[in-house]
Copies of this chain bind each other. A is one copy, B any other.
Amino acid sequence: MLHNDPIEHLIALLSRLPGLGRRSARRAVLKMLMDPDGQILPLAAALRDAASAVKPCEVCGNLDTISPCAICRDPHRDRKLVCVVEGVADLWALERAHAHHGLYHVLGGMLSALSGTGPEDLTIQPLLARIEQGDVAEVILALPATVEGATTAHYVTDRLKPSGVAITRLAQGVPIGGALDVLDDGTLAAALKARRPL
């Protein structure tokens, strides 16, 4: 009930998760309380397991139970190709799309005067170290198409240039399945500017 602690505490913690408001957190808790052994205890155990087993990969920054992570260890991956992403969520998104067969590098943020994120907060130095070890031929900047993303891409490019590695970025344009009339002006302009011959 509303007055007692363990339930309200659980609802408060759950409602902090992205995607769960207070209302859905309450519904979720209620549903779980109907079957504590089947739902609450397994979830509690899974949380503990994840907290103790998962750590960042010392090479690329991905989250995995082993370090270096499964991607960095995979002998079938193209080690010449390193895709630079802002965070692990973007890495997972690219993996789900099966779009990239090389390795990754998680920057850990975007340069932003507003949030006070400077170059020293990003893993640019470790990226340079990976390039200096010699294997990397191309760095693909898969950064968000925002002002911060563009600033960061610019800065990373400047830092990587002396190493002589090839630097590319994701194409910008109309999303697959995207209707033109609902697209923002910036995307339309970028797609028009980057038009390709048929």
A residues engaging B (CB < 8 A)? 1-7, 9-10, 13-14, 16-21, 23-33, 36-37, 39-51, 53-54, 62-66, 69-71, 87-89, 91-92, 95-96
Q: Which of B43, B53, B71 contacts A6 (CB 8 A)?
A: B53
* Copies of this chain: 2
Instruction: Give chain B residues whose Cβ lies under 8 Å from the Cβ of A50.
Output: 6-7, 9-10, 29, 32-33, 36, 40
**Distance between Cα atoms of A62 and B30 in the complex (Å):** 11
Instruction: For A96, give the chain B residue with the smallest CB separation.
Output: B2
- Inter-chain contact A54/B30, CB cutoff 8 Å: no
B40 and A70 form a contact (CB under 8 A) = no
B10/A64 in contact, CB under 8 A: no
Which residues of the partner chain B approach A4 to less than 8 Å between Cβ atoms? 54, 64-66, 70
Complex interface: chain B residues within 8 A of A30 (CB): 63, 87-89, 92
A65 — which chain B residues lie within 8 A by C-beta?
4-7
Contact A51 B47 (CB under 8 A): no
Contacting pair A14 B43 (CB below 8 A): yes
Residues in B neighbouring A5, C-beta threshold 8 A:
65
Q: Which 10 A-B pairs have the closest CB atoms?
A: A19-B24, A44-B47, A36-B51, A17-B28, A40-B51, A10-B46, A6-B50, A44-B44, A6-B53, A6-B49
